[in-house]
Amino acid sequence: MAEFKVDLRIIIDTALAVGGAGSVGTLADKSMLRDGWNRPILPASQVKGRTRHACEAIARGLGIPICQPPKAETTCPHHPGVPVGAGGERRCIICQVFGSPGFPSRLQFRDLVHIPVTGDPAAAGDTYEAQEPLRPGVGLERRRGTVQEALLFLTETTKPGTQPVFAQAPAILGQLPGPGHALLVLMGLKQVLNWGGAKSRGLGWAQLIYEATWDDKTFALDDPAGKEALAAWISS
């Protein structure tokens, strides 16, 4: 096992909406998630979930057998399509990294915090207004293809055209058994093009910048060491 660490910066090119039900201090029905200093955040659960989903698609494209979440009976160690490994466990490459109901995750994910214009995302003195811009929307009856009556809602978003930055260092930290596992995580991260909700409405398009280390060495998809490890892992 070697330590794997990833620092993340996500630059939002369009307005971003992250959250759920409305909260005190805003008229929004869907408000932005915030931390104790009122700063908008991208939650760790979303970073992990979208990265895992992208990694699952990559593994299937490479022909690597994986289990079928989210039901416990079709995930490792129960899925019969996953071969038993050398240790006597049935654990696919995805569950080895992200965990399953039967196995803990080898990685920890942290919330990404909106970096204020004035400085560091960890600076407690940098606070935000209670309300960001509100974007109206209407509910749709998809079966009939019509607008639902009396279902106007307001979504709180970041300011359009401002390219807010969400960052954390490290955003991902843990112990992985080999460079192939680390490369899979980086490949998954690079495949995620949208963050937050309302993707079909054009929200959350973003650029991702990462700095990764594995076994205390700089690690990237486009450097020679990364390419060699990727080729060896795919052919193994």
Tell me the C-alpha to C-alpha distance, in Å, between residue 12 and each of 8, 15, 22, 161, 191.
13, 7, 22, 9, 15
Most confident of 51-55, 126-130, 148-152: 51-55
For the cut 70, the answer to whether the pLDDT of residue 128 exceeds it is no
pLDDT tens, residue by residue, 200-220:
778 889 999 999 998 888 887
The reported pLDDT for the residue numbered 72 is: 81
Contact (Cβ atoms closer than 8 angstroms) between residue 91 and residue 85: yes
The reported pLDDT for the residue numbered 30 is: 74
Percent of the chain residues topping a pLDDT of 90: 28
Rg (CA), the chain: 20
- Measured between alpha carbons, how far is 156 from 150 in angstroms, rounded to an integer? 19
The reported pLDDT for the residue numbered 130 is: 47
The model carries a pTM of: 0.82
- Measured between alpha carbons, how far is 91 from 86 in angstroms, rounded to an integer? 10
Q: Give the phi and the psi of residue 230 in degrees, each rounded to 5.
A: -65, -45
The reported pLDDT for the residue numbered 32 is: 80
